[in-house]
Amino acid sequence: MAIIYDEKAQTFTIHTRLTTYQMHVGRFGVLEHLYYGRRIDDCNLDYLIRQSDVGFSPNFYESAPDRTYSLDFVPQEYPGCGVGDFRVPSIELVQADGSFAADFRYESHNICQKLYQIPGLPAIYDENEGGETLKICLKDAASDLRLELYYGVLEEKDMIARAACLVNISNQTVSIQKIHSACLDFAFGDWEMLHFYGRHCMERMAERVKLAHGVTAIESRRGTSSHQHNPGAILCAPDATETSGECCGLLLLYSGEFAIEAECDQMDQVRVTLGLGGNDFTWQLEPGERFYTPQALLSFSDRGLEHLSHNYHDTIRHNICRGAYKLARRPILINNWEATYFDFDEEKILAIAKQAAELGIEMMVLDDGWFGARDGDEAGLGDWSVNYAKLPHGLSGLSEKIHALGMKFGLWFEPEMVNEDSDLYRAHPDWAFQIPGRKPARGRFQLVLDMGRKQVREYIFEQICKVLDQTKIDYIKWDFNRSICDVYARDLPKERQGEARHRFVLGVYELLEQLTARYPEILFEGCSGGGGRFDAGMLHYTPQIWCSDDTDAIERLAIQHGTSFFYPISAVGAHISASPNHQTGRKTPLNTRGIVAMAGTFGYELDLGKLSDCEKMLVREQTHRFGQFADLTQNGKYFRLTGTQGDFMAWEFAAKDGESALVNVVFTHVRANELGKCLRLRGLNPDAHYTLEWILDPQMEQRKAELDTKYENRILNGEALMNAGIVFPMFGGVYPAFQVWIKKVR
Ligand code: DGJ
């Protein structure tokens, strides 16, 4: 049993394999947070609550004359507002009488032997893993509002999934101004925050900051989870590294606006609260209604960041992603976007596909431009019927020819958008978000459809089904190419306009749920101008997401590095594109581009016809190599062997049973007069013995002989490889890269 209630002490304890989480019904019924950290068996930690007469920290009315208990410093599970806690709240309400107050106290609880689900929102699920749920009901001290706190537990994965639900049991409307999914109130500890910021073509840059006094906030106000901030953060002890030290992850399963607020208070305590964000959110909760928050996934590691990452990778792969491709190796694809952009016809696409099939590529993906009057990005979005000028035999004709080559066929959609120059917009201009009396801001010449409206969703659903029912489609790339503004929901009254953004996300989830249920064999890949909606909410519907529109292998190193803290390799869309790269103009060897793309779902996005015979041979070898290592890269453990700052970046995939590993090294800086480099490996069996096979670019062949001689007949044990490491020379040239296959011999 992972969840234990001690009735006498009124303490709730959640034990996972390596962690303990403890709460306590404290004085006046306040649900106090006691502990989240390394596993502690059999202990009531309520002595950790400190009480003192703190100046300017108010006390409950009923506690007089005692002045030592105040919400202003007591660590709480779900802090309210307006009644004496001046720190960041998890919930803010305007009560029916207009007062700003929320003061929830313990009422009851219930433990059940399965994981809870959330109506209309993604949530973790389990397949006979013994998931459990603790539900704690709190009630507002003065109004008829109940708050249910949910804790879903995956014991073996050290994962706790929190969510909250506000229930209006009164006969009056209440207005929710803020309602977060989870709060962690650390009374002790000196925490830094690792978060992931960026922009289009530069997503998820890892940044670690010391939490200063006051509030540090990470948020998206862009309608989607965004390129600019990812909805996850990691609190790290200052000495935490990849392999040691304490860290605690918080990840939201949500694809819309969010906020993560970390406050270091007057007593040096740290509170982190996360959930729905954006300053415009409000929700009118009518009598009898319930409001569910998205889920937040918490995990703790006392063995460094890589262990924490493994917890999230396993949970996302097994308990969040769904569908036929959840754990399956994804087909190696070729996408025509960077090969042709909008300038294609059937002949060009077939030429790419034919060449690709010969080189071992398994799926042809037709990107933007196959529909409506879509010859550029000014027109056509919303009109999901084929453009016969480009594809005279229709999509079905093309799909048949591609399947005849032995390949799968994939198609691009951007269902949530509309161009003003489209039949859809001409027929239904009111379906797009725009504020009456104002001209809407355009993003890439497009407007956003209000997916909160049933009518809009139904229309889009029908249009997509029409395409999918008439043509054999194996894969869909689901794109989203602007941030959302000018939000105004025409079907909502003025006091409900603050609900529009969240209703939009709920609508998108509903549409995706219907489509993935109706077409379970189709592989969906999420996308938002690259990784602008790369979050665990989307991964519930699309098991992979295009990681970034920056396909430059060297730029991708830091992007994929930042992405890896929460998200598994099987979720990361990564392709080999042309050199010079279209975003940066940088030239990189094909071998290097291949190694970087293998740290993802793997595919190509260039005109193969422009490659030399030598390069084509390398493509054939790469597709073979990806297949050979797919089990390791997709199912193995991922290790960040370096950070982003040195002369090279390295990462490793190690089989969970320690049988083999694949080490990947890319030089970002070559230097003269160097002795060589040393790299310590991880994830091997210390007692097992291994041989090394160097996989080098043909241009590095000379050094291969040197390396083979150095390591010839040498069998190294895991202990040596992990503690002393491997040594390799400073390869010269332009961004050289190589792999080392570590194979167990006995
Ligand atoms: C943005 C995506 O990230 C690209 O890969 C491509 O699909 C374009 N949109 C097409 O408009």
If we measure between CA atoms, which residue out of 598, 481, 414 comes closest to residue 200? 481
What tens digit of pLDDT does each residue of 192-239 get?
Answer: 999 999 999 999 999 999 999 999 999 999 999 999 999 999 999 999
Q: Would residue 41 show up in a list of annotated catalytic residues for this protein?
A: no
DSSP 461-496: HHHHHHHHHHS---EEEE---S---S---TTS-GGG
What is the per-residue pLDDT for 539?
98
If we measure between CA atoms, which residue out of 30, 172, 19 comes closest to residue 94? 172
What tens digit of pLDDT does each residue of 278-289 get?
Answer: 778 999 999 999
Model confidence at 346: pLDDT above 80: yes
What is the per-residue pLDDT for 706?
82
Contact 602, 332 (CB under 8 A): yes
What tens digit of pLDDT does each residue of 623-668 get?
Answer: 999 999 999 999 999 999 999 999 999 999 999 999 999 999 999 9
Percent of the chain at pLDDT exceeding 90 = 95
The whole-angstrom separation of Cα 255 and Cα 259 is 12
Q: Would residue 535 show up in a list of annotated catalytic residues for this protein?
A: yes
What is the per-residue pLDDT for 381?
98
Q: CA 72 → CA 79, 141, 150, 387, 585, distances in Å?
A: 10, 17, 24, 63, 55
* CB burial string 186-208: b at 16+ within 10 A, e below: bbeeebbbbbbbbebbbbbbbee
Dist. CA 428 → ligand 1 center (Å): 25
If we measure between CA atoms, which residue out of 652, 415, 370 comes closest to residue 533? 415
Contact 609, 581 (CB under 8 A): no
What tens digit of pLDDT does each residue of 395-420 get?
Answer: 999 999 999 999 999 999 999 999 99
Dist. CA 489 → ligand 1 center (Å): 27
546 lines ligand 1 (CB under 6 A): yes
Dist. CA 219 → ligand 1 center (Å): 24
Model confidence at 87: pLDDT above 80: yes
338 φ, ψ (degrees, to nearest 5): -75, -10
Percent of the chain at pLDDT exceeding 70 = 100
Enter the tokens of residue 149: 């706190």
529 lines ligand 1 (CB under 6 A): yes
Q: Whose CA is nearest to atom 9 of ligand 1?
A: 529
Contact 129, 153 (CB under 8 A): no
Q: In what order do the strands lie in the sheet with 31-38?
A: 3-6, 11-15, 19-25, 31-38
Counting every residue, how long is the chain? 746
What's the average model confidence in pLDDT over 370-382?
98
549 lines ligand 1 (CB under 6 A): yes
Q: Which residues contact 628 (CB under 8 A, 6 or more apart)?
A: none
- What residue type is 587 in one-letter code? K
Contact 577, 611 (CB under 8 A): no
Per DSSP, 222 falls in state S
pTM of the full predicted structure?
0.98
The whole-angstrom separation of Cα 371 and Cα 394 is 10
What's the average model confidence in pLDDT over 562-590?
98
605 lines ligand 1 (CB under 6 A): no
Maximal CA-CA distance, the chain: 87
What is the per-residue pLDDT for 626?
98
What is the per-residue pLDDT for 93?
97
Q: Which of these is catalytic: 132, 148, 383, 535?
A: 535
Dist. CA 461 → ligand 1 center (Å): 21
What is the per-residue pLDDT for 678?
96
Contact 224, 533 (CB under 8 A): yes
412 lines ligand 1 (CB under 6 A): yes
Model confidence at 170: pLDDT above 90: yes
Residue with tokens 């929901």: 489
Arithmetic mean of pLDDT over the chain:
97
3-state DSSP assignment of residue 712: coil
481 lines ligand 1 (CB under 6 A): yes
What's the average model confidence in pLDDT over 732-739?
94
Q: Are strands 648-654 and 660-667 parallel, antiparallel or unpaired?
A: antiparallel
If we measure between CA atoms, which residue out of 477, 513, 737 comes closest to residue 625? 737
What is the per-residue pLDDT for 710?
83
Dist. CA 503 → ligand 1 center (Å): 25
What tens digit of pLDDT does each residue of 678-696 get?
Answer: 999 999 999 999 999 999 9
C-alpha dihedral (381, 387, 391, 392), degrees to nearest 10:
170
Dist. CA 322 → ligand 1 center (Å): 24
Q: Rounded to 5 degrees, what angle do the CA atoms 412, 332, 409 make?
A: 40
The whole-angstrom separation of Cα 431 and Cα 450 is 6
Model confidence at 701: pLDDT above 80: no
261 lines ligand 1 (CB under 6 A): no
Model confidence at 485: pLDDT above 80: yes
Minimum-distance ligand 1 atom for the alpha carbon of 444: 11
371 lines ligand 1 (CB under 6 A): no
Radius of gyration of the chain (CA): 27
Taking the mean position of all CA atoms in its chain, how far away is CA 543? 10
Enter the tokens of residue 535: 């979050």
Q: Which of these is catalytic: 129, 615, 659, 708?
A: 615
Q: Ligand 1 test: best mutation among 333, 368, 375, 559, most atoms within 8 Å of CB?
A: 368
The whole-angstrom separation of Cα 696 and Cα 703 is 9
If we measure between CA atoms, which residue out of 645, 643, 622 comes closest to residue 633? 622
629 φ, ψ (degrees, to nearest 5): -100, 5
If we measure between CA atoms, which residue out of 367, 443, 368, 364 comes closest to residue 403? 364
Cis peptide, bond prior to residue 65, ω within 30 of zero: yes
Q: Which residues contact 343 (CB under 8 A, 6 or more apart)?
A: none
DSSP 507-535: HHHHHHHHHHHH-TTSEEEE-BTTBTT-S
Model confidence at 126: pLDDT above 90: yes
What's the average model confidence in pLDDT over 152-180?
98
Minimum-distance ligand 1 atom for the alpha carbon of 605: 5
448 lines ligand 1 (CB under 6 A): no
What is the per-residue pLDDT for 333?
98
Dist. CA 477 → ligand 1 center (Å): 9
Per DSSP, 318 falls in state I
Confidence of residue 189 (pLDDT cuts 50, 70, 90): confident
638 lines ligand 1 (CB under 6 A): no
Model confidence at 698: pLDDT above 80: no
446 lines ligand 1 (CB under 6 A): no
Per DSSP, 220 falls in state -
Dist. CA 203 → ligand 1 center (Å): 15
Q: Ligand 1 test: best mutation among 367, 476, 550, 581, most atoms within 8 Å of CB?
A: 367
Contact 72, 85 (CB under 8 A): yes
CB atoms within 10 A of CB 379: 18
Residue with tokens 């009644």: 83
